[in-house]
Structure 1
């Protein structure tokens, strides 16, 4: 298919496809002449994935390219692809205003957490650095309530991770699809889990903090009756107008 058909099939504008080609997110098509190329279903699949990683997953172009390159490596294991994805998507800029002492305390807290949970991880895992900097920043802000419940959050995260791996384990017959599923579940799953957390958080806050609604008084003979006649306080509503009728047409 030519680039116009690729655009129609995927819903990605031609200008965006050309940009992804220049940035290496999409491999070149098969050249058929000067400034002419054709693309196949593999291009369409990768284009949709690149678009999703950037628009929904919130990755930068550079991070998305690294993730896609990890998936393109022949015989790359699911675990290896995930390691590359974690390195690409887990990026942060530590706040220089946070005292080093707070950062050291946070790092020790993270080390103890990993050891206590029995997690076997690379010592320099990027997510461990992110968690360290986040806890240190919270301490710097005088908020230690999250850190005090870190074990509870870790236990919930283990359940989420197990569900992630279950999704991948369903497709053992295709290593390529396993790696892609793990990547998509990691990147787009972060967005979905953030949304789920906010929904559950709103409901939990309502249950604990929102005032209980009071039922209105029941109608009975001892209540004042509504006076007969038109309600002078009501706002008059205009008659509904059919969209295919001109209201100024009087006949």
Structure 2
């Protein structure tokens, strides 16, 4: 397909597609003349991935390139490839102490280890430090309950990755990164919606006459 058709299928202006081509996020098409090129479904898929990273996740182009580089050239170690890609995802934070003592202690207490230098560990350290600074340190029992709930969810997600024995490493890395990028906002919004619904239900139950209303035919 021509670039105009590619842009139409991707729901983007032609100028945006050309910009992604110039920036190296989108591979060049097959040249058909000095000024024309042909594109296929691989380019369309790539544009959709770029849109997810740039428009949905809000990544700067430099960070999006970092993710795409990990997808395109994952190397022999899947864990390292995924780690490089996840490093590009927000929030971006630097710990006051690279050892991340708060986060490390919390994870060790529950038998978890993500390795030194993990971006996720740094993010957890900064978040825990922020709670302490606000005078609202995370209660250890509450932390344990959160981790238990999150582990159940994460186990299902991890089990679903790479089930296809013919799946390529780039495809696995892409699935993990996009799953993280696109699902986390949904999970956050669902949590907020559930809070509102439960608070509303509790308010309704505490309203005078609620029990009588419920029991009346």
Same fold (TM over 0.5): yes
| Offset from partner CA, 1:135-188 (integer Å, 9 cap, x none) | 112211222256662222222221121121122143232124322221211111
After superposition, the Cα gap between the structure-2 partners of 1:166 and 1:35, relative to the gap in structure 1 and judged at 3 Å, is: same
The equivalent residue for 1:11 is 11
Aligned 8 A contact 2:86 2:119 in 1 = yes
Question: RMSD of the TM alignment (CA)?
Answer: 2.8
Select between 45-54 and 150-159 the one with higher mean Cα deviation: 150-159
**Aligned twin of 1:139:** 132
Do structure 1's residue 173 and structure 2's residue 166 form an aligned pair? yes
Specify the structure having the higher radius of gyration (Cα).
1
Give the unaligned 5+ runs of structure 2. Answer: none
1:1-251 paired onto structure 2 within 5 Å: 1-73=1-73, 77-93=77-93, 107-145=100-138, 149-175=142-168, 176-208=170-202, 212-214=206-208
TM-score, normalized by length of structure 2? Answer: 0.83
Tell me the CA shift for residue 210 of structure 1.
Answer: 5.9
Question: What is the TM-score of this pair, normalised by structure 1?
Answer: 0.73
Cα distance in 1 for partners of 2:61, 2:186 equals: 20
Deviation of the 1:123 alpha carbon: 0.8
- Distance across 2 between alignment mates of 1:145 and 1:205: 22
1: distance between equivalents of 2:82 and 2:204?
Answer: 41
Q: Distance in 2 between matches of 1:92 and 1:210?
A: 41
Q: Is the 8 A contact 1:135 1:147 kept in 2?
A: no
Structure 1 residues 209 and 128: CA distance shift in structure 2, 3 A? farther
- Quote the Cα distance in structure 2 between the aligned partners of 1:200 and 1:163: 21
Which has a greater percent of helix? 2
- Give the whole-Å Cα distance in 2 for the aligned partners of 1:203 and 1:23: 45
Q: Larger deviation: 42-51 or 30-39? A: 30-39
